Amino acid sequence: MYKIYCNEHQLVLSSREPDSPEDWSLVARYHGKAKLFFPILDAMEKRTGQEQIWVYHENVEELWAVFLGLFVRVEAAGGLVFNPQGQILVIFRRNVLDLPKGKLEPGETEVEGACREVMEETGLRQVTCGPKLGETWHIFREKKKRMIKHTVWYEMSADQVELVPQAEEGIQDVRWIAPEDYLISNFSTFRNIRDMIRDTLGRAEMRSIGK
């Protein structure tokens, strides 16, 4: 299964129909024609709200390959950084709450890029990189071309108190915040970021229960 975000809408590509079709704005079966995606992408780009779209095909890898072929791909990496108090590090860019991340440079590994971007955007002088948390896929437009950004996320730790936002990248503020405060906040944020943090905290809670 693959999850892709665009304009706060979520598109799921799967090998089967959803268990609860009524929970989805649109459920469609892929019949081998890439043109199925064009009206879906147009609607995701133009409509506001948080629609849920599900497309399925018995060979999800084939479906995924066809879907990726519609975009220019951008590779990026970032970090979910925790301090010793259990708070997470967030940035505010153009008044939107986000996590530090950015495009990979030529020859750079995902881990290297994630650590570099986190330090550059937040002013941290040192981070300790932990396990890979997962990846997100986000669709956007650049010079009329449809782009898909693949971001790999790592869990990190740091204990620096003084933070410096990278102003040249449009970052207005950097701060530590309790995860539960983030999830219930009214800050403008991105759905893929919120879902990723929620999934990470959910896995951590399950591990704690299992001990």
| pLDDT the model gives residue 144 | 87
**Assigned token pair, 166:** 């990278």
Q: What is the pTM of this model?
A: 0.90
| pLDDT the model gives residue 154 | 96
Percent of residues, the chain, with pLDDT higher than 70: 96
- Under 8 Å between Cβ of 100 and 91: yes
Percent of residues, the chain, with pLDDT higher than 90: 79
DSSP, residue by residue, 11-61: EEEESS--S-GGGSSEEEE--S-GGGHHHHHHHHHH--S--EEEEE-S-HH
Residue whose C-alpha is closest to residue 163's, from 153, 154, 173, 171: 173
Domains and CATH numbers, the chain: 2-68 (no CATH), 74-210 (3.90.79.10)
Residue 207 has pLDDT above 80, yes or no: no
Phi, psi dihedral angles at 113 (to 5 degrees):
-65, -40
CA distance 180 to 124: 23
> Could you tell me how many residues make up the chain?
211
Q: What is the mean pLDDT of the chain?
A: 91
| pLDDT the model gives residue 189 | 85
Q: Say how far residue 23 (Cα) sits from the centre of its chain.
A: 22
DSSP, residue by residue, 56-102: E-S-HHHHHHHHHTTSEEEEEEEEEEE-TTS-EEEEEETTEEE--EE
- Under 8 Å between Cβ of 156 and 128: yes
CA distance 163 to 121: 9
Confidence of residue 143 (pLDDT cuts 50, 70, 90): confident
What digits encode the pLDDT tens for the residues 15-63? 999 999 999 999 999 999 999 999 999 999 998 888 999 999 999 999 9
Say which DSSP state 128 is in: E
